Amino acid sequence: MDKSISFLVKEFSTIRAGRANPSVLDRITVDYYGQKTALNAVATISTPDPRSLLIQPWDASILKEIEKSIQASDLGINPTNDGKSIRLVFPQLTEERRKDLTKQIRKLAEDSKVALRNIRREAMDQYKQEKKNSEITEDYFRVLEKEIQELLDSKISEIDELVAAKEEELLSI
């Protein structure tokens, strides 16, 4: 369950909230000598100011590939190539784009909740099998069932808190 939540936090960090954050480029891969390679493995990514990112590849010959990868991604930002580096300028988010991003956040959160419920179901199936094989008692099974439900409820409330924090970050101007 903790892995599902940490994955959700990582996904939330890739959603841009109006200010430049190098983690928005984590999902971008570049064709580097015929191999799909993560952008941060072939270049240095820095934030010279709050609204822009500067990408400086270690091999200048892949500037065009980096530019193509960024344009093909869902970032919605056009890169500026100066021959040595690529600059990404993040515009102020529109109200419509903010609402789209909050919908995306809620969908990611719901997917995480489904994953947590599946984990609960798998654990309960395992305990039911143990009860059926007389490895655990009926009373102990009920205790385990209650503990698993309480754990699930706490993890779901943790997800709800993460969603509320990210939505507040997105909707603040």
- Cα distance between residue 47 and residue 54, in whole Å: 6
What percent of the chain shows pLDDT beyond 90? 30
Angle (CA) 50-109-38 rounded to 5° is: 50
- Cα distance between residue 141 and residue 127, in whole Å: 7
Across 23-37, b (16+ Cβ under 10 Å) vs e yields: ebbbebbbebeeeeb
CB 142 within 8 A of CB 148: no
Which pTM was predicted? Answer: 0.66
Class of domain 19-89: alpha beta
CATH superfamily ID and name for 95-171: Ribosome-recycling factor (1.10.132.20)
The pLDDT assigned to 15 comes to 75
For the chain, domain boundaries: 19-89, 95-171
CB atoms within 10 A of CB 94: 9
pLDDT over 90 (residue 16): no
Mean of pLDDT over the chain: 86
The pLDDT assigned to 25 comes to 81
